[in-house]
Amino acid sequence: MRFLIGSCLLLSPLLLLSAAPQSSPPATEDYSGMYSFLREGEFVQVTVEEKGNVSGFISRFGDTESDKNEFLDQFFESGKLDSNHLSFTTKAVHGTWFTFEGTLARGAGKRPEEEGYYIIRGTLNRFRTDADKTKTSQDSRRVEFKSFPRDVSQ
């Protein structure tokens, strides 16, 4: 009889643990939002959609003779997020388009309403065609774009 009572006392904590609700897996990061771009006042809008598809656009100041200091929006032609690996290609505007390959990660910001809560790091390629569309040049650079503060009151 003592053995039976002792066994029940030993097993009861295990039974309680197995009956406790299991913790759910950690929520996936919501990387959608606005990020800084190359110059002050420019930004990248990233929207993560189903199945890792990414849409968005770059808003930047033009820098050619025909669009100097005009605000240009270059929408993503394609975009993908696989785990934290981000890639996108923009449509051409005035003979210029961009490609990006890199990662999305947590940044130095402590809360989503702080700048830099998320960081996009990687290689940005800029392609330009000449006026005759006969020559294309490419510039590559390592970049880091910080997320803008989010309005979390909603």
Which residues touch 73 (CB under 8 Å, ≥6 apart)?
A: 57, 58, 59, 93
Residue 4 lies in a domain: no
| pLDDT of 98 | 98
**Exposure b/e, 108-140, CB count within 10 A at least 16 = b:** ebeeeeeebbbbbebebeebbeeeeeeeeeeee
C-alpha dihedral sign at 93, 94, 99, 104: negative
- Expressed as residue numbers, the domain containing 87 is 33-146
Residue 130 lies in a domain: yes
Domain total in the chain: 1
SS3 (DSSP) at 68:
coil
Element counts in the chain: helices (H) and strands (E): 1, 8
Residue with tokens 């100041």: 61
Q: What is the CATH number of the domain that holds 85?
A: 2.40.128.30
Residue 91 lies in a domain: yes
- pLDDT tens digits, the chain, 154 residues: what are they? 555 455 544 445 544 444 444 443 344 688 999 999 999 999 999 999 999 999 999 999 998 777 888 899 999 999 999 999 999 999 999 899 999 999 999 999 999 999 999 999 999 999 998 878 888 999 999 999 999 999 866 5
pTM above 0.95, yes or no: no
Residue 71 lies in a domain: yes
| pLDDT of 59 | 97
Could you read off the pLDDT of 24-41 as tens digits, one per residue?
Answer: 334 468 899 999 999 999
Residue 153 lies in a domain: no
| pLDDT of 23 | 41
Residue 21 lies in a domain: no
